[in-house]
A and B are shown apart, each in its own frame.
Chain A
């Protein structure tokens, strides 16, 4: 059994929470006591139906206000796959939550209300998922029951979205007509829409191929921790522990350690108490080298002829996540893979309007939830790749040094 992480975006009105409730209910991930709690709450509010949305609204303030204000993680499994849902709020003032949820997703699920068609919000969601390089996107056209399962309504939305998507980077797009409330095309193919010859949403989620989304060519191994037991049994053991970020590592590979540039060969790869012949993303392993070279946390092991260039001038898209705006000359802490340093904002090139894709070049700052293209200068060289090539070595976070709070998320275009 493998794992699929997907992010959902949408507001209460789109029926997103109802859809998640439906997926959990139909895959039997909801237990009787949870269902009973939701049923009694629905009753006490005077609803004449069970509000499945209540299953996913976790914090008390959200339950009271009836909105989702933070990323909530949900779990369910079918015999084929385990699923992790990052359930994110839809409104523009929660863009940062959506960026957070999308950062780890293999698939993004955007909901639209069939009666409304594409809205500014659904376009924004697609833009954000594309910016975060979520490789698979599903547009679920919901509430088909309220438009009498009309094919023409669906076709119009289909056409409009497909044409919009050509402006974005979406390697795999699937558009499915559903009714979350009644279950049409959620788990089973609906008999109400014989004109639709595609698969149900669940069938797609179970079968979408995600293993090949990872970079298996460019070897990237950020060193996290140096393992030195200094025990009698393992007196000379020295291993470099980390999670493979790209490529396939094998014993015997000629490697280079960055930023020092020293070369060596992989002597062995350990996974707990046994040696393995290959390590690939996202495995957490310990690598031993043949030579006694100086390697520490923050270094990266790559291949001699395929290594990132250490860069201190970084060009990146940044999503700003705090009230106080990002301004030129600002200094922040930066964390990239296992490396930490400081960064100064050299320039804000433009602010991206995530609704229209318009680039506002006159901007002087980035406010909360805004995304823009920014030039940074870092105190330590980053061993980075473009985010479009590798989501691990291409991403970073910015931290306010006074408060310690994460204030920005960065996706690298290039480094030099």
Chain B
């Protein structure tokens, strides 16, 4: 256990970030009728869950978690997700993209990525369940469009974000007012960077999916990315598969998320690797951000995290 008491009354950057995030969780739990935490089983959402655990301890986390099941999630991620949910005794709602397609809530035209289909599925579940606040693991350092996102990000009754009409956010005074049908996206990790997340996982010895660590995997090179061969990624005749030592920096759906060659087997080794990384985690491994410089902004306006 780390000591958080210092003779000179200074807090380390991780302790300051932790205190800020815990404050946000408690504000939302106090002021919103029906919050939910978006839990993908990825590292950022796991850190969120850990912070929520701390915010309400020894009481249980007073809201459920919601996972959008793309049908293309990595097994290792689902396993870790279940471990966390069971350990904390949480209610988990699974919003299935497959089901949403069957019900005609979203349309799979064969060209749209699962990540984009998540938007409709997610918004539909928020509306059906009547959630008024949804915690997301987005960080401002991820992408330029996110740099201006508020901690409390207001969504209209179509679930859309209007970047030009955001509420001013001052001090740590968050404004949670919404009208019926609207909801608020809450980003408790706004001020964390990728390195902070890893430092925290390392310090707190947090369980994360095994695919974040180096392992051998059959991959295929496609559009400059290394994709894991699976039912979602079937090599074309012109493509050659290779077995490489890789790890994932983000864990989205299997058809879109690439891995990187790496030998980092521990959190400490990952931290060393990130400290000298030359490409952002999204730039390296997320096909869905690569189409245009404004790709993220477009998806955010539609209601993507």
Q: Tell me, yes or no, whether A binds B.
A: yes
A42 contacts partner chain B, Cβ-Cβ < 8 Å: no
B206 contacts partner chain A, Cβ-Cβ < 8 Å: no
B147 contacts partner chain A, Cβ-Cβ < 8 Å: yes
Residue among B140, B148, B195, B277 facing the most chain A CB atoms (10 A cut-off): B148
* One of A31, A75, A271, A321 near B140 (C-beta < 8 A): A75
Binary B-proximity of A277-288 (CB < 8 A = 1, otherwise 0): 110101110100
* A-contacting residues, B39-77, CB 8 Å: 53-60
Binary A-proximity of B15-55 (CB < 8 A = 1, otherwise 0): 11111101100110110000000000000000000000111
Q: Is B191 within 8 A of A231, CB to CB?
A: no
Q: Is A243 within 8 A of B280, CB to CB?
A: no
* Chain A hits for B4, CB < 8 A: 271, 276, 283
Q: Please tell me which stretch of B118-126, B168-176, B265-273 contacts chain A, meaning at least 4 of its Cβ atoms lie within 8 angstroms of it.
A: B168-176
* Chain A hits for B130, CB < 8 A: none
Q: Is B175 within 8 A of A58, CB to CB?
A: no
B103 contacts partner chain A, Cβ-Cβ < 8 Å: no
* Chain B hits for A277, CB < 8 A: 5
* One of A216, A274, A399 near B175 (C-beta < 8 A): A399
* Chain A hits for B86, CB < 8 A: none
Q: Please tell me which stretch of A159-167, A221-229, A304-312, A371-379 contacts chain B, meaning at least 4 of its Cβ atoms lie within 8 angstroms of it.
A: A221-229
* B-contacting residues, A222-272, CB 8 Å: 224-225, 227-231, 233-234, 237, 241-243, 248, 270-272
* Chain B hits for A211, CB < 8 A: 8-10
* Chain A hits for B53, CB < 8 A: 272
* One of B13, B145, B166 near A1 (C-beta < 8 A): B13
Give CA–CA (A211, B54) in the complex, Å. Answer: 25
Give CA–CA (A60, B299) in the complex, Å. Answer: 13
Q: Is B16 within 8 A of A404, CB to CB?
A: no
A96 contacts partner chain B, Cβ-Cβ < 8 Å: yes
Q: Is B58 within 8 A of A225, CB to CB?
A: no
A96-B168, A283-B4 given as contacts; is B145 within 8 A of A59 (CB)?
yes
* One of B20, B27, B191, B293 near A224 (C-beta < 8 A): B27
B236 contacts partner chain A, Cβ-Cβ < 8 Å: no
A41 contacts partner chain B, Cβ-Cβ < 8 Å: yes
* One of B22, B29, B30, B175 near A284 (C-beta < 8 A): B22
Chain B residue with Cβ nearest A270: B57
Q: Is A231 within 8 A of B22, CB to CB?
A: no
Give CA–CA (A234, B60) in the complex, Å. Answer: 11
Give CA–CA (A375, B293) in the complex, Å. Answer: 47
Chain A residue with Cβ nearest B196: A82
Q: Is B58 within 8 A of A278, CB to CB?
A: no
B179 contacts partner chain A, Cβ-Cβ < 8 Å: yes
Q: Is A73 within 8 A of B191, CB to CB?
A: yes
Binary A-proximity of B169-211 (CB < 8 A = 1, otherwise 0): 1111101011100000000001101011000000000000000
Q: Is A99 within 8 A of B19, CB to CB?
A: no
A31-B283, A84-B191, A211-B10 given as contacts; is B27 within 8 A of A73 (CB)?
no
Q: Is B30 within 8 A of A406, CB to CB?
A: no
A169 contacts partner chain B, Cβ-Cβ < 8 Å: no
Taking the closest CB of chain A, its distance from the CB of B92, in whole angstroms, is 20
Chain B residue with Cβ nearest A64: B294
Q: Is B164 within 8 A of A2, CB to CB?
A: no
Give CA–CA (A231, B190) in the complex, Å. Answer: 32
* Chain A hits for B196, CB < 8 A: 82
* Chain B hits for A58, CB < 8 A: 144-148, 297
Q: Please tell me which stretch of A110-118, A182-190, A344-352, A390-398 contacts chain B, meaning at least 4 of its Cβ atoms lie within 8 angstroms of it.
A: A390-398
A97-B168, A284-B23, A406-B168 given as contacts; is B58 within 8 A of A233 (CB)?
yes
Q: Is B175 within 8 A of A99, CB to CB?
A: no
A335 contacts partner chain B, Cβ-Cβ < 8 Å: yes
Taking the closest CB of chain A, its distance from the CB of B275, in whole angstroms, is 9
Give CA–CA (A404, B180) in the complex, Å. Answer: 12
Give CA–CA (A16, B277) in the complex, Å. Answer: 27
Q: Is A31 within 8 A of B29, CB to CB?
A: no
* One of B9, B18, B170, B195 near A216 (C-beta < 8 A): B9
Q: Please tell me which stretch of A32-40, A123-131, A147-155, A194-202 contacts chain B, meaning at least 4 of its Cβ atoms lie within 8 angstroms of it.
A: A32-40
Q: Is B294 within 8 A of A409, CB to CB?
A: no
* Chain A hits for B87, CB < 8 A: none
Residues of B within 8 A of A (CB): 1, 4-5, 8-13, 15-20, 22-23, 26-27, 29-30, 53-60, 140-141, 144-148, 163-164, 166-173, 175, 177-179, 190-191, 193, 195-196, 277-280, 283-284, 293-294, 297
A-B contact pairs, 14 of them (CB 8 A): A1-B13, A73-B147, A73-B148, A225-B56, A227-B57, A227-B59, A229-B59, A231-B58, A231-B60, A276-B5, A282-B19, A395-B171, A396-B173, A409-B170
A225-B26, A405-B167 known, 8 other contacts, Cβ within 8 Å: A2-B10, A2-B12, A58-B145, A63-B293, A99-B168, A242-B26, A272-B53, A399-B175
**What 5 A-B pairs are tightest by C-beta distance, nearest first?**
A404-B177, A33-B283, A284-B22, A229-B59, A58-B144
